[in-house]
């Protein structure tokens, strides 16, 4: 790598396109070729006097691979000075590894020359890549302000800036001042919430008050663009014209995602207000699914439970299959009295009744409020399945539920209380997509969550057991 007379930008491009091999997706297994929009942004980011470079663009435009390549270049290039420190910042260490650090480590593994010139450590809490020739380190780190202020980064990469607090971003800026040519890179996608660094930095630019030493680039559709405007998609997604995004993927996504989610994650637009998670026609779609059905005794069912201990409602949803193969959902909802929570013994009794009458494939529950009752029911022979409602799990479950409803793969009895729980739900964006938020919803949504858990059990169903016999 004897390129000592080249500019920082030229060195970065030459290194990335010479040594970085794409580990997955478009161009997998081949040397990386930077797209025109990536080169334009990188030239601005590596210009003299730039300390922070921010890029806002929708999902699917190769940002993780791009960031990973920047990280690999930064830790191997000796021009970054003595012992370069490359920090890959995520909401959690696991998220930093999944999104960027793991991709960077794979790039190093796939190139024998880079692999031979580096050492990778994978111990829990000490994951890092060390380059003896530069005495440089690349490592994942969680976005905790106190920890970040102790860094001395030559380059710090903050993925998902739309889910990063201003306090975290400020901590990175403070840490970056310890080296003469340090650079903070922030890339993200818009969201619903405004309390994050990406929104704040964007507002500074809009108001004509950008920070000294910062460059900000935004790719987004026009604010007034219709959700199915394919010309607007191309404005927001430069990867479409660069050849590493398939427009058919967007055509599928626009039909299978809430409109607000598509506008945020695929069109790069900040959502205004909270519309229905099922889309503008969500109420009409749900109402069209009302086809009452009585289950015969002994039929297979799958159950979801969303329980509460205090003032919230508790719901049990059970799903069977119609003769045409579609799912059919039934629900029972317990509303707490003014001064008394829902009686979980009554909920347990209802689950026992279901197990006696039908063949229960699984009872899915969140252990926060159902741990002891579930253990009792398991001892009695009910096939309970613990499913903590983590962001990772619920993102997939909510996405599947949306698809099932929008594609009319499910019916229900037309219960008005059930309807209100489904219509009350609103989305909450996260770094993986979206979930349904109880805190931001218009009212109780427990039956909707229980429905999602039950649908998840149907889609991952095992052979149902025979009805429980009570002697």
- Mean pLDDT score across all residues of the chain: 88
| Single residue among 172, 203, 219 that ends a domain in this structure | 219
* pLDDT reading at 469 higher than 80: no
**Is 43 in contact with 8 (CB distance < 8 Å)?**
no
207 lies in the same domain as 334: no
For the range 331-337, what are the long-range contacts, defined as Cβ-Cβ under 8 Å and sequence gap of 24 or more? Answer: 331/412, 331/415, 331/418, 331/447, 331/450, 331/451, 333/417, 333/418, 333/421, 333/446, 333/447, 336/308, 336/310, 336/311, 336/312
Q: Mean pLDDT lowest for which of 2-11, 302-311, 439-448?
A: 2-11
Give me the CATH number covering residue 17. 3.40.50.300
- Across 195-232, b (16+ Cβ under 10 Å) vs e yields ebbbbebbeebeeeebeeebbbbebbbeeebebebeeb
- Listed residues 193, 219, 245: the one ending a domain: 219
Range of lowest pLDDT (24-38, 124-138, 230-244, 456-470): 456-470
Half-sphere exposure at residue 105, Cβ-oriented, CA atoms within 13 angstroms = 20
Q: Within this chain, do residues 186 and 315 fall inside the same structural domain, yes or no?
A: no
Read off the pLDDT of residues 402-448 as tens digits, 9 standing for 90 and up: 999 999 999 999 998 898 889 888 888 777 778 898 877 767 899 99
Q: In this predicted structure, what is the pLDDT of residue 10?
A: 93
Give a yes or no: residue 228 inside a domain: no
pLDDT > 50? residue 471: no
Together in a domain, 94 and 190: yes
Q: With bands split at pLDDT 50, 70 and 90, how would you rate the model's confidence at 101?
A: very high
Q: Strands (DSSP E) along 76-190, which ranges?
A: 85-90, 119-121, 128-131, 136-142, 155-159, 183-188
* Rounded distance between C-alpha atoms, residue 386 and residue 346, angstroms: 20
- Total number of domains in the chain: 2
Please name every residue paired with 56 in a beta bridge, in sequence order, or none if there are none.
Answer: 188, 218
| CATH at residue 432 | 3.30.420.240
Q: What is the pLDDT of residues 284-296, one digit of tens each?
A: 899 999 999 999 9
CA distance 372 to 386: 12
- The residue assigned the tokens 């995520």 is 90
303 and 208 share a domain? no
Answer yes or no: pTM beyond 0.75. Answer: no
Query: Cα–Cα distance between 138 and 106 in angstroms, integer?
Result: 13
What contacts 152, CB < 8 A, 6 or more positions away? 85, 175, 178, 179
- Can you tell me which residue has the tokens 């450590």? 121
In a domain, 267, yes or no: no
In a domain, 258, yes or no: no
pLDDT, residue 274, reads 52
Residue 47 maps to a domain: yes
Do 215 and 294 reside in the same domain of the chain?
A: no
How confident is the model over 244-285, as pLDDT tens digits?
A: 899 999 999 898 877 878 888 899 988 654 567 887 788 889
**Both 292 and 184 in a single domain?**
no
Looking at the structure, tell me whether residues 208 and 290 fall in a common domain. no
Q: Which residue has the higher pLDDT, 191 or 14?
A: 14
Q: What is the pLDDT of residue 160?
A: 85
Are both 32 and 166 inside the same structural domain? yes
pLDDT of residue 466: 59
Q: Please check whether residue 140 lies inside any domain of the structure.
A: yes
- How much is the pLDDT for 272? 56
Of 219, 242, 262, the domain-final residue: 219
**Lookup: tokens for 172:** 């990175």
Structural domain range at position 214: 8-219
Q: How confident is the model at residue 464 (pLDDT cuts 50, 70, 90)?
A: low
Give residue-wise pLDDT tens across range 147-167: 887 888 999 999 888 888 899
pLDDT tens column, 164-193? 889 989 988 888 777 778 899 999 998 767
Mean pLDDT is lowest, of 37-41, 262-266, 314-318, 374-378, for 262-266
**The pLDDT of residue 1 is above 60:** no
Q: What one-character-per-residue DSSP string does 222-244 give? A: -TT--TT-HHHHHHH-HHHHHTS
Let me know whether 198 and 315 are in one domain: no
Coil vs helix vs strand at 136 = strand
Is residue 30 domain-resident?
Answer: yes
Residues 166 and 294 placed together within one structural domain of the fold: no
Residues 215 and 286 in one domain: no
Percent of the chain with pLDDT over 70: 93
118 Cα distance to chain centroid: 31
CA atoms in the 13 A half-sphere facing the CB of 393: 13
Same domain, 21 and 139: yes
Lowest mean pLDDT among 191-200, 258-267, 354-363, 377-386: 191-200
Structural domain contains residue 227: no
CA distance 13 to 5: 14
**Rounded Cα distance, 370 and 130, in Å:** 46
For residue 145, pLDDT over 90 is answered with: no
């Amino acid at each position: 790598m004897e390129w000592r007379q080249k500019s920082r930008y030229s060195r970065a491009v030459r290194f990335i396109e010479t040594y970085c091999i794409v580990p997955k997706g478009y161009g997998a297994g081949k040397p990386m070729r930077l797209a025109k929009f990536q080169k334009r942004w990188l030239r601005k980011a590596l210009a003299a006097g730039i300390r922070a470079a921010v890029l806002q663009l929708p999902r699917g435009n190769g940002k993780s691979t791009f960031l990973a390549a920047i990280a690999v270049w930064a830790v191997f290039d000796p021009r970054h000075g003595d012992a370069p420190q490359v920090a890959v910042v995520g909401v959690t260490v696991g998220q930093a590894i999944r999104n960027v650090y793991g991709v960077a480590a794979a790039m190093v593994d796939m190139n024998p020359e880079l692999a031979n010139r580096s050492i990778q450590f994978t111990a829990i809490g000490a994951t890092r890549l060390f380059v003896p020739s530069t005495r440089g380190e690349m490592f994942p780190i969680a976005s905790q302000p106190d920890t970040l202020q102790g860094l001395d980064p030559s380059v710090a990469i903050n993925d998902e800036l739309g889910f990063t607090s201003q306090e975290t971003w400020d901590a990175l800026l403070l840490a970056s001042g310890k080296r003469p040519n340090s650079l903070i890179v922030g890339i993200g996608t818009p969201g619903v919430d405004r309390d994050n660094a990406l929104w704040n930095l964007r507002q500074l630019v809009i108001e004509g008050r950008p920070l000294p030493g910062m460059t900000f680039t935004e790719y987004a559709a026009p604010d007034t663009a219709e959700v199915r405007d394919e010309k607007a998609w191309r404005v927001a997604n430069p990867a479409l014209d660069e050849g590493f995004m398939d427009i058919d993927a967007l055509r599928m996504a626009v039909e299978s995602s809430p409109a607000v989610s598509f506008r945020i994650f695929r069109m790069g637009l900040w959502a205004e207000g909270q519309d229905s998670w099922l889309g503008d026609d969500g109420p009409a779609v749900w109402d069209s699914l009302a086809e009452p059905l009585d289950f015969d005794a002994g039929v297979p069912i799958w159950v979801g439970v969303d329980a509460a201990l205090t003032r919230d409602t508790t719901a049990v949803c059970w799903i069977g299959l119609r003769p045409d193969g579609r799912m059919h959902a039934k629900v029972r909802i317990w509303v707490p009295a003014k001064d008394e929570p829902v009686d979980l013994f009554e909920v347990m009794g209802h689950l026992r009744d279901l197990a006696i009458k039908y063949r229960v494939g699984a009872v899915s529950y969140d252990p926060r409020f159902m741990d002891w009752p579930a253990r009792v029911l398991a001892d009695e022979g009910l096939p309970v399945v613990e499913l903590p409602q983590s962001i990772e799990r619920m993102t997939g479950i909510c996405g599947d539920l949306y698809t099932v409803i929008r594609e009319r793969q499910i019916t229900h009895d037309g219960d008005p209380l059930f309807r209100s729980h489904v219509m009350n739900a609103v989305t909450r964006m996260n770094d993986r997509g979206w979930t349904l938020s109880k805190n931001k919803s218009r009212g109780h949504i427990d039956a909707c969550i229980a429905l999602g858990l039950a649908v998840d059990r149907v889609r991952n169903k095992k052979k149902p057991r025979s009805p429980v016999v009570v002697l």
